[in-house]
Amino acid sequence: MQFNSTREQVAFLARRATWGLAPGELDVLESLGVTATIDRLVDPSSAGLGEEASAWADWNFVYDRSDRKARRQQDMEAFERWMGRLLSTERPLDHQLAWFWHDHFAVSMQVVRHLPAMLGHLDLCWSLGRGDVRALIRQVTTDAAMLVFLDGATSKGTAPNENFGRELLELYTVGVGNFTEADVKAAAAALTGWVVRRRDGWKVRFVPARHDDTPQTLLGVDGVHDADTTIAAATSSPACPVFLASKLGRYLLGDIDDATVLALAATFSNADLDISALARATLGAGVGGAATPTVLAPLPWLLQAIKATGAHVSTAELANTLRSMGQLPGSPPNVGGYPGAATWLASSATAARFSAAIDVARATPDEAPALAAARAGDWPGLADLFMRPAGFSNATMTALEDLKPSVSARPGEGALALALASPDLLIA
Amino acid sequence: MPISRRAFLGGAAGAAAAGGGAWAALLRDSLEAAAPTVRPSPTTTRAPVTTTTTAAADAVASSSARLPVTERVLVVLEMDGGNDALNTLVPAVGRYHDARPKIGLSDGQLVTLTGVEYGLHPALASLTPFWEAGTMSAIAGVAMPQQSRSHFTAKDAWWSGVGGSPSQTGWLGRWLDLSLDAERNGVDDPLRAIALGGGSPALVGAQTTATAIRDPAAFTLATGPGVDEGGLVEAFLATASALNAEPTLAAAQQAIPGTLDAVALLAAAADSDNLSAYENPTPGAGRTAVDLLSTAANIIAMGIGTRVLTVGVRGFDTHADQVENHQALLQDLASGLASFFTALEASGDLDRVMVITTSEFGRQIAENGSAGTDHGEGGLQFIFGPTVAGGIVHGGYDLGAVDDGGVPPVVDTRSVYRSALEWLGGPGGADGVFEEDPAVLGLLTA
């Protein structure tokens, strides 16, 4: 993707690295320029932005598995705090990276079924998600939610469970083709012995009697025998920075070429596997032309729509819409994470997007700039509010022009819905 | 037998969950997204939505008795996660019991199958009438070449039906492409292939598109008050009128007409009188085999030209606590299939439907310490249909020659695919679908 102006470049950064912009925010980023915008995203503290606590830091709740009603309310409050944070944060890239790692590890609430453990896992993805990737992967390895999600909690030395050991290598660190079945068995053996005390607040304990401490050879590294040495071996493989740079690169930039991946991997290695350094280099490559158009998943599509319109969408409506579109936060469908672009173009997602667009337009307040632009037929202005300063495609422009004002009872609402549903806003 | 639209669309429970709003309730509902079935294909010719949809929808809605339908339908039931073959179709001989002290099924628990040295998991008891009637067979030790133990690599291979290298198309998609001229004069029809409960890349073709419906209950265009639905739908279609040069945007445009066609046709068909008599024992319980096969039976009974259906059922990755989980999964599968065939018989469609099951790999012979099983190799398929050579176990489990804990592959699943396509499309139906002709297994009587 090539850009014709600073405004197009910072709009690109906003589409990929934030959760949307409110009216006027694109002007601010344009005045900062590309370099300062990347600085502000990657290192918000040095840009003078305040520190953030966890989205659930000030929330004390008593979790009682037997109180179903209370659990439902707590699940809902957790969702509300999470989405509220994404919509209000001044550190959007922190949360994009947290989401990336949540997607990467793919721990699902549907499997874990324990809210505090799930929130603990999401906090790891957020708090460690922009530092040394080895620390993140090491902590996640013996995190209660992960131990339950991939059965580490029931894996013992006499007959190791290979579930986590396999996915650690295939999905979390080096990727398919870069390990053998013997490596899977070695990792599985070295990672035995961790348990989750479900009757004691899901505390994680290491039980030596359940552990196989026999030295293993993992990815050519001898003497691997526990969680620390397993993660050290997996992350010291030359395949690891390439695999992770490729994955983050594709998340932020789309379908990038091998040369870009290798350059980003080299940067990542040279920065001692610091995720922020990788993110900075990746965004820089994107504004430099390495990116390709991507299909937005339902969550970023919907939050971008809400930010730009200021639509008043209740927590329940937000959850329902995301569910109907096929991406409820906290519930990746399988260990591969949320599905990819083609899924969001399939029939179910397309129909759901149309309905969701109408809901967002209906919830947009009368005074919103987006509604005013739609009412006035200011299509370039409307596209700009949605971080597309280059405007809508010809087909969408024609469809907007041809739309009869009577299509909605409230002036502008129909055109706003059409813009939101258009293919243009699905593509970032 | 008229059935209300709501019954077709999955029952009241789904609607209640959608309106309820609690995250917990939402989380319990299945979420697996539809798979890629729409791709840029500039060579595709398709009838314009405004004419075909309206005409076809009118035709469907106005016919109280449908015309006789003779086109055959292939249903591929995908058991996602790697079904444990050895605890599904259990060998009566060999070292099975030694390897599975905790989760092994004793001889007394097994459902006996006439004529073979295998028994079925007790949860599959409702399938034995099909075995005894000669319309069901099994293929054991089945795999793709270079069978992978990775879910994702293995599923890619099973979906593509191509050994070794990655493929842009699926085996069913290639059949849909190759038969498009003969069957539809080259005009694509989004309802010719439908994926239920999570789409299937097996349906991806170069010239054809499939409809992927994750949750049939939510497959509507809901506009609500204050908006002219027809006007907005027309405008939505217009955003796809001239395909953009940029391929990703063009793909997003191309998804729109097929979706609108499919929504309109399914809505019209659901209001007609042609639904099947499928009795769903647990309506709206989620995206179960029972639920999805209920929708599949209705789609077949409606006679809207669907030739291929995939049904995606999740949860077969039983690394831990397998006894209970596998029991529930197989129970759902058997209930769903038994009800499905009963409904097809009632609607007069039984003789035009074949079902094959797939799963990306079998699991290891020995259980692990979590009372589960890890990823293995050779797996199991079932085949059901009017011309199946019934009551046979093709291939088998070679437990004496254990390769790293997996069941050694002895049958190439492309042989099963080939038989299914030759039944679906007639002699030569599999021609051109595979790189080389897969071996003939003798799965069919005719």
Please give the residue range of the domain that contains residue B335.
5-425
Q: How confident is the model at residue B222 (pLDDT cuts 50, 70, 90)?
A: confident
Alpha-carbon distances of A83 from A53, A79, A316, A381, rounded to whole Å: 15, 6, 11, 27
Nearest to B32 among A333, A414, A424 (CB): A333
For residue B436, is it within any domain? Answer: no
Provide the CATH number for the domain around residue B17: 3.40.720
What pLDDT does residue A50 have? Answer: 86
pLDDT by residue (tens digit) across B62-102?
444 445 678 999 999 999 999 999 999 999 877 898 899 99
3-state helix, strand, coil in chain A (%, to 5): 60, 5, 35
Query: In angstroms, rounded to a whole number, what is the distance separating the alpha carbons of residues B395 and B135?
Result: 18
Query: Do the beta carbons of residue B252 and residue B242 sit within 8 Å?
Result: no
What pLDDT does residue B298 have? Answer: 87
For residue B240, is it within any domain? Answer: yes
A349 three-class SS: helix
Residue B19 has pLDDT above 90, yes or no: no
Residue B28 has pLDDT above 60, yes or no: no
Q: Which of A347, A350, A420 should we substitute to test contact with B (largest number of B Cβ atoms within 10 Å)?
A: A347
Length of chain B, please? 446
Closest B-chain CA to A336:
B152
For residue B289, is it within any domain? Answer: yes
If contacts are CB pairs under 8 Å, which of residues 368-397 in chain B contact chain A? 368-372, 374-375
pLDDT by residue (tens digit) across B324-356?
999 999 999 999 999 999 999 999 999 999 999
Alpha helix segments (H runs only) across B21-125: 23-28, 49-62, 96-99
Closest A-chain CA to B216:
A348
Residue B34 has pLDDT above 50, yes or no: no
Residue B281 has pLDDT above 80, yes or no: no
Query: Do the beta carbons of residue A91 and residue A49 sit within 8 Å?
Result: yes
Contacts of A72 in chain B (CB under 8 A): 22-25
For residue B444, is it within any domain? Answer: no
Query: Do the beta carbons of residue A304 and residue A20 sit within 8 Å?
Result: yes
Closest B-chain CA to A254:
B248
Do residue A159 and residue B368 have CB atoms under 8 angstroms apart?
yes
Do residue B26 and residue A323 have CB atoms under 8 angstroms apart?
yes
Tokens matching residue A308: 């730009």
What pLDDT does residue B85 have? Answer: 98
Closest CA relative to residue B258, chosen from B323, B315, B311, B188: B188
pLDDT under 50: residue ranges of chain A: none
Query: Do the beta carbons of residue A416 and residue A364 sit within 8 Å?
Result: yes
Closest B-chain CA to A153:
B370
Residue B235 has pLDDT above 70, yes or no: yes
Contacts of B367 in chain A (CB under 8 A): 159
For residue B126, is it within any domain? Answer: yes
Q: Positive or negative CA dihedral for A415, A417, A421, A427?
A: positive
Tokens matching residue A205: 């304990």
If contacts are CB pairs under 8 Å, which of residues 110-149 in chain B contact chain A? 148-149
Do residue A351 and residue B253 have CB atoms under 8 angstroms apart?
no
> What is the pairing mode between strands B379-384 and B353-358?
antiparallel
Query: In angstroms, rounded to a whole number, what is the distance separating the alpha carbons of residues A73 and A329?
Result: 16
> What average pLDDT does this structure show over B190-210?
90
Do residue B263 and residue A159 have CB atoms under 8 angstroms apart?
no
Do residue A358 and residue B150 have CB atoms under 8 angstroms apart?
no
The structural domains of chain A, with segments of one domain joined by +, span 6-50+255-290, 68-88+91-236, 298-426
All residues at 6 or more sequence positions from A113 whose CB lies less than 8 Å from its CB, including other chains:
none
What pLDDT does residue B49 have? Answer: 40
B391 to chain A, closest Cα gap in Å? 35
Burial (CB < 10 A; 0-12, 13-18, 19+), residue A222, is exposed
A342 three-class SS: helix
Q: How confident is the model at residue B276 (pLDDT cuts 50, 70, 90)?
A: low
Contacts of B81 in chain A (CB under 8 A): 334
For residue B440, is it within any domain? Answer: no
What pLDDT does residue A28 have? Answer: 97
**What are the φ/ψ torsions at residue A295 (nearest 5 degrees)?**
-95, 125
C-alpha radius of gyration, chain A, whole number: 23
Contacts of B34 in chain A (CB under 8 A): 326, 339, 343, 346-349
B200 to chain A, closest Cα gap in Å? 10
**Count of domains observed in chain B:** 1
Helix axes A275-285, A258-270, angle to 10 degrees: 150
Closest CA relative to residue B135, chosen from B427, B342, B430, B370: B342
> What average pLDDT does this structure show over B420-440?
94
Residue B323 has pLDDT above 50, yes or no: yes
C-alpha radius of gyration, chain B, whole number: 22
With a pLDDT cut of 70, the percent of chain A lying above it is 100
All residues at 6 or more sequence positions from B33 whose CB lies less than 8 Å from its CB, including other chains:
A326, A327, A333, A338, A339, A343, A344, A346, A348, A349, B198, B199, B214
Contacts of A192 in chain B (CB under 8 A): 369
A408 to chain B, closest Cα gap in Å? 4
Tokens matching residue B358: 């797939």
pTM of the model: 0.89
List the single range of A17-21, A73-77, B43-47, B49-53 with lowest mean pLDDT: B43-47
Q: Using alpha carbons only, what angle is made at residue B284 by residues B289 and B260, rounded to the nearest 5 degrees?
A: 85
First to last CA, chain A: 11
